[in-house]
A and B are shown apart, each in its own frame.
Chain A
Amino acid sequence: MIHDAAAYVGDWPFRDIGGTVGGLTGIMAANGMTHALVSSLQGFFYSDPTPANEKLLRDLRGRENLFAAPILNPYLVNFPEQIARLAANPQVRAIRLAPGFHGYEMAFARPLIEVAAAHRLPVIVQTKFQDRRHHPSVAHMPEVPLADALDLVASLPKARFVLSAAHFVETMREAERIRSLRNVWLDMSHLDGLECIKRAAKAVGARRLLLSTCWPFFYAKAALLKVAEAQLPARENAAVLGGNAGRVFGI
């Protein structure tokens, strides 16, 4: 079983990357991926992501191999009702926060995360998305320091966190702390550099790494080859490819 813990559908406003549900299922089939956790790209850009989430859920409805991670904005104080509604939908397996897009510090999301935890929904924190050197001139999206996110992880032990798109160097710097916390996993889509997965698995533990393609923004094949080239022991390889995501998201 191969689960993609970070895929997207929808439009990227700065170039056509073809993020359709059909495109996603095609990529999954071509690469042997059985399930994907999907968010809406528009959800990053809408100050109220609700319409993007509603469209996402409509698009995914009836597709048993696709699960949703709607994007929430904690500035919208109705988040308790939103989370309750989303938690009632069996296709929703997590919520995604995008502090860099919606403009808040990590600690500001604490009340929302507490509500999500009460509903047993894992919270995915988008620490970055695009290499900051390539940001379009109209949209510079600040990154979330991994240390800030980990402060929150440490202070909310009942919440489950997935830190999405972290840098390799930053991950290695925080590796000991990540390893010591039992409620955090890493989306490996943006880990890069020679032997990055092998080294990250050694540093934080393979049980913390989730295969994540960041398709359609990234070529999905890149993530799969990164895991393959690590040549992890069979049990660790299976955990990274799907076992860990299966446990975190209940897939």
Chain B
Amino acid sequence: MIIDFHAHPGYAHDLAGLREELRPLLREAAYHGVQWVCLNAIADWSPSPSPRAVRKGNDAVLALMSDYPDRVIGLCYVNPLHGEAARKELDRCVVNGGMAGIKLWIACKANHPSVDPIAARAAELNVPILQHCFYVPGLAWQTTPADVADLAARHPKMKMVIAHLTACMERGLADIQPYPNVCVDFAGGEPEATWVERAVKWLGAERVVFGTDTPIRTYGSSLGRVYQAKLTARQRALILSGNARRLLGRRFPG
């Protein structure tokens, strides 16, 4: 079994469009034996979307979960700057809607005080947070692995996956290495060689999670990294599904 921990339903701003986009996505996933796709819809893709846009995006994911109950796992996108409304949206989607995790993007940095209530609630619910993360010059306003390390120190029971290994680099791996509650995915970057092995070396295979960022990347581009990386069969199985299953816990629908 393969679980894609980091995917988006598409770029459309309405459910009908996302349904259209999801079909080829699931077809390509199935071609590669990817059974489960964790979808998060980042509202309208604006950096700090409105509560209405957030709700609309999450509603679309809930509908897609219903369309494909044996393929789609939902992650709830929230904008932490919405305060109590973000907490309520999280509960609406996770507690009542059956989503299995939370997605944070670029509305604020991960160590911003507004993220603390989200992290605390995620820990209470025992659901993972997928956090966009970069070390990219000129994008310092986006969350860095050092920001995540700050948050992880304050919330040791929170489970977090930072996205975009290739853009986090060794510096990012060093930042999160002391925090066993933080994993990394390699979604989104180009298939630059040796990064999967480097992540395993820094963090152990138990903390490296397969994700694609599709439709931004193809499944072939993402899986090629795992299949060619110098890994044991056990390490490969952990990365492709074991770690995601552990993180999703009892909310994993499979």
Which of A's residues lie within 8 Å of B, judged by CB?
15-18, 27, 130-131, 133-134, 137, 190, 192-197, 215-229, 231
Contacts and interface: CB of A to CB of B under 8 A. Distances in A.
B137 interface: yes
A27 B214 CA distance: 26
A196 B192 contact: no
B218 A218 contact: no
A176 B139 CA distance: 34
Nearest to B31: A229
Contacts of A192: 190, 216-218, 221
A195 B134 CA distance: 26
A216 B216 CA distance: 23
A218 B194 CA distance: 8
A215 B193 contact: yes
Nearest to B194: A17
Interface string B193-219: 110000000000000000000111111
B215 A194 contact: yes
A193 B215 contact: yes
20 contacts: A17-B193, A27-B228, A133-B167, A134-B169, A134-B192, A190-B190, A192-B190, A192-B216, A192-B221, A194-B25, A196-B218, A218-B192, A219-B228, A219-B229, A220-B228, A221-B224, A223-B224, A225-B227, A226-B218, A226-B224
Interface in B219-243: 219-225, 227-229
B214 A194 contact: yes
A165 to B, nearest CB: 10
B169 to A, nearest CB: 8
Given A133-B167, A224-B220, A225-B219, 19 more contacts: A130-B190, A130-B192, A134-B189, A137-B137, A190-B190, A192-B190, A192-B216, A194-B214, A194-B216, A194-B218, A216-B193, A218-B190, A221-B228, A222-B228, A225-B32, A225-B221, A225-B223, A226-B220, A229-B32
A218 B229 CA distance: 11
A190 B192 CA distance: 11
B28 interface: yes
B178 interface: no
A72 B19 CA distance: 49
Given A15-B194, A134-B189, A194-B28, A229 B217 contact: no
B64 to A, nearest CB: 15
Given A17-B194, A134-B192, A137-B137, A229 B218 contact: yes
B166 interface: yes
A193 B193 contact: no
Q: Which of B25, B31, B32, B192 has the most CB of A within 10 A?
A: B192
B39 to A, nearest CB: 13
B125 interface: no
B113 interface: no
B136 interface: yes
Contact of A217 (B139, B192, B222, B225): B192
Contacts of A226: 218, 220-221, 224
Contact of B136 (A133, A193, A196, A225): A133
B117 interface: no
